[in-house]
Amino acid sequence: MPLFRRRLPSPARVARPERPPTARERRAIDAYHRWYYDTEVWKRTTWRGVMVQKWVGDLWSYAEILHALRPTLVVEVGTSFGGSALWFADTMSAVAPPARVLTVDVDGERCAAVVRDDPRIERLVASSLDPAVASRVRALRAQRPGPVFLILDGNHAADHVLAEMEAFRDVLVRGDVLVVEDGNVNGHPVLPEHGPGPLEAVRAYVARRPDDYERDLAHEARFGLTFAPEGFLVRR
């Protein structure tokens, strides 16, 4: 039995959808998805006063995964204002203490003071493709042996995301969880003008390396929509 199945509870107990949506329901879900995205509700979603910029259903799925996985380290690519880094630190403190979050962004200026001052959160101002980032993840997991939860939510260009997945390939081990966010752009179903993005990167990676990951379909479908279609992945 793959190791991750011993770490994650059965999807039947945690996140199995009752049934797939009908065609009519899918149209309604996509319409709501576009409303949620286009009205920028996600840009007005905060955690402890700091902007988070995520679909709240995904956050709930992440909480379930963190509780089941009990990671020793969360790595977030794409800090922005820092609300999600703070949310990860608070959630980890509740479900898998002691919390340790490494958050990476090329722009360190927007990060809120409460995030900068949180001792549970380490910030790296760097490109996610800088070899120093992967080296730091290796060092942290050597200090804190155990599973890693990694989320990619920085540059959404397909080529960049594909390069990130390759850069972190040897950092992640069997049972670790990778979430590739914002595959909903480029018409999946939002922002059709975006051009190839994270979903195209995931598909290209899977075509290249089909045995690296197994999709966590249960959490992906948990709430009918996700900002990370095909992006809930468990390392084999």
The residues spanned by each domain of the chain are 21-235
The closest of 234, 200, 201 to 215, measured between CA atoms, is 234
Lowest mean pLDDT among 6-20, 66-80, 148-162, 220-234: 6-20
**23-69, pLDDT tens digit by residue?**
999 999 999 999 999 999 999 999 999 999 999 999 999 999 999 99
Fold for the domain defined by 21-235? Rossmann fold (3.40.50)
Q: What angle do CA 89, 13, 64 make, to 5 degrees?
A: 10
Whole-model pTM: value is: 0.91
**One-character DSSP codes across 60-87:** HHHHHHHHHH--SEEEEE--TTSHHHHH
- Within 8 A by CB and 6+ apart from 130, the residues are none
* Predicted confidence (pLDDT) per residue in 88-145, tens digit: 999 999 999 999 999 999 998 999 999 999 999 999 999 999 999 999 999 999 999 9
Q: What is the pLDDT of residue 16?
A: 60
Number of Cβ atoms within 10 Å of the Cβ of 142:
8
